[in-house]
Amino acid sequence: MSKTIYILNGPNLNLLGKRQTDIYGTETLEDIVSDCAKVGKEVGLSVKLLQSNHEGEIVEMIHDAREEAAGIIINPAAYSHTSVAILDALNTFEGPVLEVHISNIHKREAFRHHSFVSERAEGVIAGFGVNGYALAMRHMGALLS
Ligand code: CA2
């Protein structure tokens, strides 16, 4: 059976493709699942994409990943810049963690330049649009091979 990668998404990312398309593009979370599943097929990984607008729910998704996932790709959205709870949860996960941001957070407001999650992530992708998720999947394949 193929290993599962959890692709976790934080607040407001359920609106992807529907609002602020100038910043975040026109692709939706459904498009991201199919892009990542396609790469997953090539590298022998399956994907489970989850999204929540609630910090505690994301912490619980990470706890579930401890039992079910070989790796985590996470876009914590605004919680990147505020959440020690998500960082602490990721520190309990034993596999690789890759952080994705659709926009280039370093080109935006100063408060977006720091991410608590980056301290735990093996790698960070920012500014590649939603392609960043598929790129992270490919790298996850390399890390777990
Ligand atoms: O660039 C990213 O992926 C971010 O993680 C997105 C977050 C933002 O707070 C981070 O600084 C950078 C915001 C996600 C909001 O997503 C929306 C998507 C469509 C419409 C409205 C919001």
Let me know if 44 is exposed, middle or buried by CB neighbors in 10 A (0-12, 13-18, 19+).
exposed
Q: Which runs of E-coded beta strand occur in the chain?
A: 3-9, 45-51, 71-75, 97-101, 123-126
Ligand 1: which atom is nearest the Cα of residue 101?
Answer: 3
Ligand 1: which atom is nearest the Cα of residue 13?
Answer: 16
Could you state, in order of their start, the residue ranges of all structural domains in the chain? Answer: 3-144
- CA 51 to chain CA centroid, Å, is 10
- In this predicted structure, what is the pLDDT of residue 92? 98
Whose alpha carbon is nearest atom 10 of ligand 1? Answer: 77
Tokens 């998704």, residue located: 61
List the beta bridge partners of residue 85.
none
Let me know if domain 3-144 sits in CATH 3.40.50.9100. Answer: yes
Q: How many CB atoms lie within 10 A of CB 43?
A: 17
The per-residue pLDDT string of the chain (145 residues; one tens digit each, 9 = 90 and over) reads 799 999 999 999 999 999 899 999 999 999 999 999 999 999 999 999 999 999 999 999 999 999 999 999 999 999 999 999 999 999 999 999 999 999 999 999 999 999 999 999 999 999 999 999 999 999 999 999 9
| Of 44, 47, 37, nearest in space to 7 by CA | 47
Q: Are 103 and 23 in contact (CB under 8 A)?
A: yes
